[in-house]
Amino acid sequence: MKKSIQIMFHILFWVFSSLLIVLVFQLLNLMTAVLGGQMPNFQETIKVLLWTVPVGACLFYISYFTLSFFIKRPIRFIWIGLLYVLLIPFLIIFEYHDSGNVDFLEILILLLPITYFNLFGFLFKTFIEWIKDRKIKAELEKDKIASQLELLKSQINPHFLFNSLNNIDVLIQDESQKASEYLKKLTEILRFMLYESNTDRIPLIEEIEYIKKYIDLQKIRTSNDNFVKFEISGNASGKNIAPMIFIHFIENAFKYSINKKIENAINIRFDISENQVSFFCKNHNKTLNDTNPDKNGLGIKLIKQKLDLIYKKAYALNVKEEDNWYIVNLEIQLDEH
C-alpha cells in the first residue's frame, strides 16, 4: 500500500474518532444535564476531546508499532489479553484511590476508549501487513509464471527451428533461389519469435501471419499444392492473443502427416468472433496407432501448462483421435479491450 494512502487512512480514522468522541460525550453530557435539570455543557466535551485524542494516539500507535510488529502472530491475542487482565486491577485501584469506592461503570467507560484505540491500532497494522503480503505474493506469482513461460518457450521452440532448417536444406542444392526466399521467411519468423513474441499479448493478426509463414516453410517438402487447407473465418483485427499458442499443434500436424500426396492431409481453421477465437487442426495419419502423435506426450503437457498459466479457466482444449485423423479443438476467450 502506498504511503499516501496509508496517511489518508490515518487522517480519516482520526477525523472519524474525534467526531465519535464528541458525539458520545455530548450525548452523555446531555443525558446528565437533563437528568440533573441543568443545561448541557459543551465545553466539557471539548476538554474530554483535548485529552482523549493525545492519550488515544499514544495507545493507538503503541499498538500499531509495538504489539503488531514485535509480537509474533500466533500469540498476539494472548499478549493483548494479558495486558487487559493487568489493566483492570490498575483501574480498580485508581478508581478507589480517587473516589474512595469502586464504580465499575466508570471503569467500563475508561476501558472502552482504551480498547477502541488499542484494537484499531492493531487492526490497522494487521490490515497493512495483509496488503503487503498480498502484493509480495502477487509479484512472486507473476515472476514464477514468467519464469515458467520462458522455460516452456525454450522447450518448444527448438523443434520448430530444427524442422525449418532441415526443410530449407532440401532446397539449397537444387533450388537456391527458392531456398533464399524461404530463408528470408525463416529470418522473419525467428525475429517474431525472439522479439515480437516477448510480450504477454500480441495482435491476433500477427500471430496468424506468423503461422502462414510457418506453413509455407513446411510445404517445401511436398509438391502437393493441396496438402494443407488453411481457412480463416471472422475478423482478426483489433484482437489480442498470447503469442505462440497454436504453433505446437500445427508443428505436430506436419510431423505426423507422413503421406505428402493426400489432398487436405492437414486442415487448419480459425473461427474468430468478437470475444473468442476457435482453433481447429486436423491431420491425417494412417499409422496413427503405431505413432501416436503426442496426444499425452510432453508437447501437449507443455502447451496445457502454458494455457493454464495464461488463460486459467478462459480456454477449452479438446484433443482426440478419430479413425485416421488426429483432431485438436482449442477455444480461447479473448481479453476485453
CATH number at residue 287: 3.30.565.10
Write down the pLDDT at residue 330: 97
Question: Is 326 part of a structural domain of the chain?
Answer: yes
pLDDT of residue 130: 83
Q: What angle do CA 228, 233, 236 make, to 5 degrees?
A: 105
Boundary of a domain, candidates 83, 117, 136: 136
Extract long-range pairs of 154-160: CB within 8 Å, 24+ residues apart. Answer: 155/298, 155/302, 156/244, 156/247, 156/248, 156/299, 156/302, 156/303, 157/193, 157/244, 159/251, 159/299, 160/193, 160/214, 160/247, 160/251
In a domain, 50, yes or no: yes
130 and 185 share one domain: no
Residue 184 pLDDT: 87
pLDDT score recorded for residue 286: 62
Same domain assignment for residues 114 and 188 = no
With respect to residue 141, please indicate whether it lies within any of the assigned structural domains. no
- Residues 245, 125 share a domain: no
Looking at the fold, whether 187 and 104 belong to one and the same domain comes out as no
Counting the structural domains of the chain, the total is 2
**Residue 303 belongs to a domain:** yes
| 109 & 185 share domain | no
166 is a domain residue: no
Is residue 146 within a helix (H) or strand (E), and if so which, with residue range?
A: helix 104-172
DSSP letters along 6-37, please? HHHHHHHHHHHHHHHHHHHHHHHHHHHHHHHT
Examine the domain organization and report whether 183 and 328 are in the same domain.
Answer: yes
Judgement on whether residues 182 and 131 belong to the same structural domain of the protein: no
* Overall pTM surpassing 0.85 (yes/no): no
In Å, the largest CA–CA distance within the chain is 115
Q: How do the pLDDT tens digits run along the chain, 337 residues long?
A: 677 888 888 889 888 888 887 887 777 777 766 666 565 566 766 776 777 788 888 878 887 887 655 555 555 556 666 665 556 555 555 554 555 555 555 556 666 777 788 788 878 888 888 888 788 777 767 766 666 666 556 555 566 677 677 777 877 877 788 888 888 888 888 888 777 777 888 999 999 999 998 898 888 777 888 899 999 999 999 999 988 889 889 988 888 887 878 888 999 999 999 999 999 999 987 655 555 455 555 567 778 888 888 888 899 999 998 888 999 999 999 876 5
Residues 208, 84 share a domain: no
Residue 154 lies in a domain: no
Final residue of a structural domain among 117, 136, 155: 136
Whether 118 and 8 share a structural domain: yes
Bridge pairing between strands 240-241 and 202-203: antiparallel
Q: For residue 168, which of 218, 212, 213, 215 has the smallest C-alpha distance?
A: 218
Q: Which residue segment(s) compose the domain that 276 sits in?
A: 175-333
The secondary structure of residue 234, as a DSSP letter, is S
In a shared domain, residues 306 and 258: yes
Identify the domain boundary among 76, 107, 136. 136
Q: Are residues 210 and 314 in the same domain?
A: yes
Q: Say yes or no: 180 and 318 in one domain.
A: yes
Q: Which residue has the cell 509495538?
A: 66
